[in-house]
Structure 1
Amino acid sequence: MQAFRPLLALLVGAATARALKMNSWQARLDKALLDVDLGLGSRLRLFGKAVTDPALAADVQRSLSAIRASGFAQGHPEAIDTLFPMGTTARADLEGLAALRRQIPEVLQQQRRQPLSDAPRGAVPLPPLPDAAEVLSSLVALATDREKQASLREETKDLLRRTPKGLETPKYAVVRTLDGPGTLGAAELRAYEPFTVARTSMRGSGAGAAGEGFNTLAAYLFGKNERAQSMAMTMPVQTAMRDADGACAQPSSMAFVLPARFADAPPAPLASSGVRIDTVPARLVAVQAFAGLATDEEVQRQRAQLLRALADASLAPADGAELILLQYNSPLTVPWRRRNEVALEVAGGIAAARAAAAAGAAAIVGGAAPDSEPAGGVAATAVASAGASAPLAARPSQDESDEL
């Protein structure tokens, strides 16, 4: 990873010009209305600056003119690009809601196709109702324990966050973005550091098999192992998909990333648990993010889109690479805010990563800034994920961003 640091610094420095301008009225209004972590005073200050910005009236007028000139069907894309540019939460919400229009019918159709025999094997019966005294004791503890109250507030906010806070993830650096119409931004090439996972094989497909795999891994993570060692939940949940004749078939395995402090010496799984420990080596991975529900059809669409982006960049998946579905959110998260990704290992490994980083840096320095770069862009991800010693201009502090 040290070999990437100079290239990442160049990417970070150049990316500040590509990111959504944090002092624009769109960014201020978006933050004032949709940022779940902002205090009331900061919301009011940002809202006031947004609505008094002369550019707001000009942009609204330009959007209305585009719709009048071209009609709503042809003019509304320009209006949306002007009022809700890529990088705003509002834009991601709009595209997430649009995705749900096709995903929800697919979920319903998938449920109708699901045979009863695919119900999870060995399903655990519903637990008995909790004891009333225990419930009362828990409520009293919650009412008097500030730490528990803060934890509950954060968990509640996570239901509205695209990426939950406080959960550990594998370390990676974004070395290049790839052109494409992704709803949550362009596809990315990521150089991942090695990490360790707990994995279980999937039997069948659909919600039943996914639930069984999740429960098996959660039991291991929360203490059903040889050490009775409880570990913190991490993200994302990784589901490997079999790939046959150029089309993804049913899931083959599900994996939880282990916290880094357990990576070298993880607790041994119980012999009958069906869990095994795997080490995922350092590798170059192409990733396409999407919002909403990860239906079979949506995964196929995103896979096809990712393959097109790779082909356009003269890259290809590694031989035998499995498609990996990455899911970051609780099932209770509002559907249009859910962050999902499809990922494929890229042929060429570290050598391809160096070439991709060099090509990406040249493209950023020499080309015009694309309108579709998300806020923070390469800069935010590289600094946050890789710890690169690069400028932090693209990531203002909370106090600074409140006053923009």
Structure 2
Amino acid sequence: MRLNHSTQLSFIWRIFLTAAASIATLRIGAGLIAWRAANVLEKPTYTVVKRLPLSRGSGEVEIRKYEPYLIAETIVDESSMRRAGSVGFGRCAGYIFGKNTPVGKTEPEKMAMTAPVRSVGQAGEKMAMTSPVRSEGNKKGNTKISFVIGSKYNLQNAPRPIDKSVKVKRVDGHYLAARSFSGPPPSDDRVAEERSKLVQVCEREGIRVKGGKDETYVYGYHDPVVTPNLLRKNEVCVMIDGSGLN
């Protein structure tokens, strides 16, 4: 029996809606799995020293004291952290996932992922980030991209990178003022806006912001593709002088 044109269109439309619903369900399911997996990753250890209200509007700023940790870092000749991130991510991910020489061993070692994504650059008018990496940029075009290395390693036992552009470094203990929010990796304007809020609160509280002019840290705790934007956690931070805060 042949279907008329209207019936055929209705049948095709039902197939399309069913397929779209199935894809959406799979997408949400994969996103939740990715979100849960990221939430249990090892993170740098820190203590919240204070929680301070914003100067205007709702929300708060966390003042944190971080313990030392290691990073795998590479330098990319690019002032935009979004563009530099794709290059730096590949280098650092290669190190974490096996492009390394373990101390006292011959076989490469696959190391565990950690969180958050760390990006550090000059906010100024604009600044961007990618995930899951840490990047540190300046206006001359050099951007540092890095992954956090798990706490079971130190400078003596961490595997040596095969890629000579990747270096294992120690991040000393430090203090940050941090703002948390959900959504996709923040735009340049969003980062600059959040940094401005942090600086205003620090000035109000008499806390000195350290680092170069407009230096800003951007942290991403979840991947920017699979995890739904509503569940993604981002942070914008500035380095501060922690003397007198304890």
TM-score by length of 1: 0.44
Asked if 1 retains the 8 angstrom alpha-carbon contact of 2:209 and 2:239, the reply is yes
Structure 1 residues without counterparts, runs of 5 or longer: 1-153, 355-404
Asked if 2 retains the 8 angstrom alpha-carbon contact of 1:238 and 1:324, the reply is yes
Asked if 1 retains the 8 angstrom alpha-carbon contact of 2:178 and 2:235, the reply is yes
2-structure distance, mates of 1:226, 1:182: 50
> Which residue number in structure 2 is paired with residue 310 of structure 1?
202
Q: Which structure dedicates a bigger proportion of its chain to helix? A: 1
The alpha-carbon distance between structure 1 residues 158 and 301, as it changes in their structure 2 partners (threshold 3 A), is farther
Any residues of structure 2 matched to 1:325-404 within 5 Å, and which? 325-331=218-224, 332-347=226-241, 349=242, 351-354=243-246
2-structure distance, mates of 1:339, 1:263: 28
Runs of 4 or more, structure 1, over 3 Å off, are 158-161, 246-251
The CA deviation at 1:155 is 6.7
> Which residue number in structure 2 is paired with residue 259 of structure 1?
150
Match of 1:281 among 172, 177, 192: 172
Asked if 2 retains the 8 angstrom alpha-carbon contact of 1:197 and 1:258, the reply is yes
2-structure distance, mates of 1:207, 1:319: 21
Asked if 2 retains the 8 angstrom alpha-carbon contact of 1:196 and 1:257, the reply is yes
The alpha-carbon distance between structure 1 residues 249 and 166, as it changes in their structure 2 partners (threshold 3 A), is closer
Match of 1:200 among 42, 59, 74: 74
Match of 2:94 among 192, 195, 219: 219
> Which residue number in structure 2 is paired with residue 168 of structure 1?
42
Q: Are 1:191 and 2:65 an aligned pair?
A: yes
2-structure distance, mates of 1:182, 1:328: 25
1-structure distance, mates of 2:30, 2:57: 28
2-structure distance, mates of 1:159, 1:178: 31
Larger Rg computed on CA atoms: 1
2-structure distance, mates of 1:235, 1:182: 29
2-structure distance, mates of 1:201, 1:182: 37
The CA deviation string for residues 181-218 of structure 1, in whole angstroms up to 9 with x for no partner, is 687x4110001011111111133226442111111111
Aligned Cα RMSD in Å?
Answer: 2.6
> Which residue number in structure 1 is paired with residue 6 of structure 2?
none
The CA deviation string for residues 12-37 of structure 1, in whole angstroms up to 9 with x for no partner, is xxxxxxxxxxxxxxxxxxxxxxxxxx
> Which residue number in structure 1 is paired with residue 140 of structure 2?
none
Q: Secondary structure at the match of 2:39?
A: coil
The alpha-carbon distance between structure 1 residues 232 and 176, as it changes in their structure 2 partners (threshold 3 A), is same
Fraction of identical pairs, as percent: 29
Q: Which structure dedicates a bigger proportion of its chain to strand? A: 2
TM-score by length of 2: 0.71
The CA deviation at 1:159 is 4.1
